[in-house]
Amino acid sequence: MDVIFAQAIKDSTALRKASVPWNPGEPHGQPYHAFDDAASSWVPQHPSTDTAPTSLTSLTIYTWNIDFMLPGAVARMKAALAHLGGLTREAAPTTAIVIFLQECTPSDLATIAATPWVQERFHITDVDATNWTTTHYGTTTLVDSRLPITAAFRVQYPQTRMDRDALFVDVSLGPRGTRTRLCNTHLESMALDPPFRPAQMQLVARYLHEAHVDAALAAGDFNAIQPFDRTLHVDDGNNLKDAFLELGGKEDSDEGFTWGQQAPTELRTRFGCSRMDKVYFCGRVEVVRLERFGQDVVVAGEEECTQIVALGCEKPWVTDHLGVLAGVRVVSCQMRND
């Protein structure tokens, strides 16, 4: 696995774009995409800046890192999407679904775009790598097509060795059009010196706390592997809440771990399990439910199974991460006294 990881870093460097139309640390707007049945294709859409009332009063956010280094990318993403499709099929009529994915490859984007239930029920932020700094891997967000999208933009981290950024989508929620900001991010990996995750989370917090935003959440693979990661939500004036801790979770407890259980045995033995994937929030929002998902989701193809198990995995898992599901209620401005 060390050889595979070293090769992945080398490939990412080689696939970095020579130039990009944005400046690190500054918002760069992008379209989202809606599926056109008549044309049988995804069509770019530009967000409307006007908030709009909607009967949707709550959100369920699913965040999941689908490992880009394992073989069988298409088969693994198909299995992951089949699992997500089943989980999201029975949403309540007043609950919108939003899906954050990290470590997507261009082939993953093609697989997502070709999935019927995604075409029927979601808008997607990315159909190709246009808005990524590298053509190797990146993030994408699937937004319930019933939700009005009022903004979509990325902010590339000024401090990153791995081309990481924060993907923001603003939506209008509830009968009063509560302005709700959602951030999908993959913070810097590994315990390198100097660490970049504190500066990255400080940037995320800055945009979550913008004055015109009523409610805000950030979720994704936070790569929380060092002692300082435990307090990133409150350090540097970030003033965010950690959903797991707010709901009574305890650090270093089995029920919080999202990485390690499905890692190759060698890596699990070396590093143990950890709570890499998190949900932070602030403003007029309450997280009322937090669960993990994605345990023991495996690929179906014989060749892919053989290749993944050969890397030291006990099963042909689609990824080394468990996903995190957050049930969210946005509090109407008129319901608050503060």
In tens, the pLDDT along 78-99 reads 999 999 999 999 888 999 999 9
Residues 6+ apart with CB under 8 A from 108: 66, 68, 73, 77, 101
> What is the C-alpha to C-alpha distance for residues 45 and 241, in angstroms, rounded to an integer?
32
**Nearest Cα residue to 15 out of 124, 112, 191, 138:** 138
**pLDDT of the residue at 135:** 93
Q: Which position has the token pair 């774009």?
A: 17
* C-alpha distance from residue 221 to each of 79, 185, 275, 277, 336 (Å): 20, 7, 9, 4, 31
**pLDDT of the residue at 245:** 98
Per run of 10 residues, the mean pLDDT along the chain (length 338 residues) is 61 83 97 97 93 91 97 97 95 94 98 98 98 96 97 98 97 93 97 97 98 97 98 98 98 97 95 97 97 97 95 97 97 51
Q: Degrees (nearest 5) of the Cα angle 218, 221, 227? A: 95
**pLDDT of the residue at 8:** 65
In tens, the pLDDT along 272-295 reads 999 999 999 999 999 999 999 999
Chain centroid, CA 182 distance in Å: 10
Burial profile 238-271: b = 16 or more Cβ within 10 angstroms, e = fewer: bebbbbbeeeeeeeeeeebbbbbbbbbeebbeee
**pLDDT of the residue at 2:** 53
**pLDDT of the residue at 336:** 39
Pairing of strands 149-156, 58-65: unpaired
Q: Per CATH, is 51-335 categorized as 3.40.50.10280?
A: no
Structure token digits, residue 262: 């499905």
**pLDDT of the residue at 334:** 47
Structure token digits, residue 244: 């797991």
**pLDDT of the residue at 51:** 79
